[in-house]
Chain A
Amino acid sequence: EEQLLESGGGLVQPGGSLRLSCAASGSTFSIYGMSWVRQAPGKGLEWVSSITNSGGTIYYADSVRGRFTISRDNSKNTLYLQMNSLRAEDTAIYYCAKYGRKCSGVSCYSNTNWFDPWGQGTLVTVSS
């Protein structure tokens, strides 16, 4: 079963930057879309961003658009999240997740897909 391992979390000051990574095991990384989902302390899940298998289509939540950038390197089986202009409200555990259904051609069926599996998460704390 494929596994996802996030890294790069830590403590950062407001206005600072951080880059998260998500390393995927297995050999099918390049045919699946990927996503980031976060969870603030004691709160529910919030979708952050998704990217298709080729990186050709990207989606962002309004709360992070213009500040966060999702990308992937299929040669390294790795997903990234570059986070700039960080705010206190960005404090959360960040999970990477793989689309459950593989992409076909240019479509990753984002509107009917699901997240499976999930990584264990990495904690980002934005505080002075």
Chain B
Amino acid sequence: QSVLTQPPSASGTPGQRVTISCSGSSSNIGRNTVNWYQQLPGTAPKLLMYSDDQRPSGVPDRFSGSKSGTSASLAISGLQSEDEADYYCAAWDDSLNGVVFGGGTKLTVL
């Protein structure tokens, strides 16, 4: 059972907007920044969003991040087939003194 809670799956049709939630607590998301990672099938994870809402260079602006209290969200607008992947949220946990990940959300583009 993961410290951060994500829905196990999400789906949408091309062009739609999809949101993936990540719920934590005051010891992780409530105090520290949230990062998101994208893992395409059969590949290593890749940074998608850092410091709650910052996009690394090369990541399309269709991807956006937000945080409020002890929850964070990743939004993908204009969904494309190449967005089909697993998405993980992560944050530092002050109580555990380490990084905690969400269980991952498998995004399917219908």
Contact = CB atoms under 8 A, between A and B. Distances in A.
Contacts of B96: 62
What class of interface size applies to chain B in its complex with A? 20 to 34
A95 interface: yes
Given A47-B101, A50-B99, A59-B97, A117 B47 contact: yes
Given A112-B32, A112-B92, A44 B104 contact: yes
Interface in B1-57: 2, 31-33, 35, 37, 39, 44-47, 50-51, 56
Given A118-B46, A121-B44, A44 B98 contact: no
B98 A116 contact: no
What class of interface size applies to chain A in its complex with B? 20 to 34
Given A110-B92, A112-B32, A118-B44, A44 B50 contact: no
B10 to A, nearest CB: 15
B99 A47 contact: yes
Given A114-B50, A115-B47, A45 B92 contact: no
B56 A116 contact: yes
Interface in B71-104: 86, 88, 90, 92, 94, 96-104
Interface of A: 35, 37, 44-47, 50, 59-62, 95, 100, 110-121
